[in-house]
Amino acid sequence: MLFKQQALLRQKLFVLGSLAIGSLLYLVARVGSLDRLQPLCPIDGRFGPRGQDEIPLRALQFKRGLLHEFRKGNATKEQIRLHNLVQQLPKAIIIGVRKGGTRALLEMLNLHPAVVKASQEIHFFDNDENYAKGIEWYRKKMPFSYPHQITIEKSPAYFITEEVPERIYKMNSSIKLLIIVREPTTRAISDYTQVLEGKERKNKTYYKFEKLAIDPNTCEVNTKYKAVRTSIYTKHLERWLKYFPIEQFHIVDGDRLITEPLPELQLVEKFLNLPPRISHYNLYFNATRGFYCLRFNIVFNKCLAGSKGRIHPEVDTSVITKLRKFFHPFNQKFYQITGRTFNWP
């Protein structure tokens, strides 16, 4: 009887051991298969020359994890040196425009494994106090990256600030500049809506859009209102063209980036001389939010902040018509300068 019990026990232990070993082998195989799933940067499509100058496939994955830790200041100098990481000045800057979709554009470009973004707006070139701290202060505000990656920052105030073009030119006269625009009247209303929300959070009252956008004395468009002035894109661009040729600018359609982002991102990839990496896989429409969200890999997705896509207040149609008529000649000139035409009224 005892012999049978011992034999039965040995049999159960054998079965349990087999199951444990089988489970372990499955996990090893599963991890290996996951490690091979690299939808953003397949091995046969890596960029850069082979050999010493090539970014290892696994190294690119640090961009989502290890580099994040470095940006938080959790890495030692030795770790940074071992991983060959640097803080580079931007090779491209999203200079504007406010409420055009600068944050969405930056986050979407960050899908590309060769792009590293500065998480915060630095406001180096448009802020006299920051600018006085010098270019090394600016560099130290940049994220860690591999030498082959390009750093991009965005500060929409750059586009409309008079001193900025010359300051950026002095840093890098061949830098690539990205401008994302929306239909000017819609952009002005979006600008107003953001300010209005800020006032409401502080329980403050604010004028209606119509009263700000239209001069009550002349009943004409109020060009002193900042939201209106910002939407006169050609006036600001002409100031930039005193320092940079038009070939160093790329105009992004902010309205199209909302509804059909991939073609716009592919145009930017080409402008930045990046190998095509962003695909339909990386962008999926979130019906609840009404916007496209980002898919970096099989485990990491990201949607823009809830403050994006605010509902605009109702605006008198006669005011909208007056604004569109006012912007029309400026829009036509913008089309001629940039070589890109939009379906704006």
Domains of the chain, by residue range, sit at: 84-338
- Of 199, 205, 194, 207, the residue nearest 319 (C-alpha): 207
Q: Is 310 annotated as ligand-binding? A: yes
Q: Is 103 annotated as ligand-binding? A: yes
Residues constituting the chain: 345
Tokens found for residue 80: 């940074």
User: Does residue 181 sit in helix, strand or coil?
Assistant: strand
* Segment holding 19, helix H or strand E: helix 2-36
Q: What is the pLDDT of residue 297?
A: 84
Q: Is 311 annotated as ligand-binding? A: yes
Q: What is the pLDDT of residue 205?
A: 86
Read off the DSSP letter of residue 73. Answer: T
Q: Is 102 annotated as ligand-binding? A: yes
Catalytic site positions: 99
pTM score: 0.78
* Segment holding 179, helix H or strand E: strand 176-181
d(C-alpha 107, C-alpha 118), whole Å: 10
Cis peptide before 97 (omega within 30 of 0): yes
Q: Is 312 annotated as ligand-binding? A: yes
Residue-wise pLDDT tens for the chain (345 aa)?
Answer: 544 455 555 555 554 555 455 544 444 344 343 333 333 333 233 333 333 333 333 344 445 455 555 555 556 666 666 578 999 999 999 999 999 999 999 999 999 999 999 989 999 999 999 999 999 999 999 999 999 999 999 999 999 999 999 999 999 999 999 999 999 999 999 999 999 999 989 988 899 999 999 999 999 999 999 999 999 999 999 999 999 999 999 999 999 999 999 999 999 999 999 999 999 999 998 887 778 999 988 778 888 876 566 788 999 999 999 999 999 999 999 999 999 999 999
d(C-alpha 299, C-alpha 46), whole Å: 21
> At which residue do the structure tokens 């939201």 appear?
227
Q: What is the pLDDT of residue 168?
A: 98
Residue 227 near residue 212, CB atoms below 8 Å? yes
Residue 146 near residue 329, CB atoms below 8 Å? no
Q: What is the pLDDT of residue 51?
A: 35
Read off the DSSP letter of residue 182. Answer: -
| HSE of 244, CA atoms in CB hemisphere, 13 A | 26
**Domain 84-338 annotated CATH 3.40.50.300:** yes
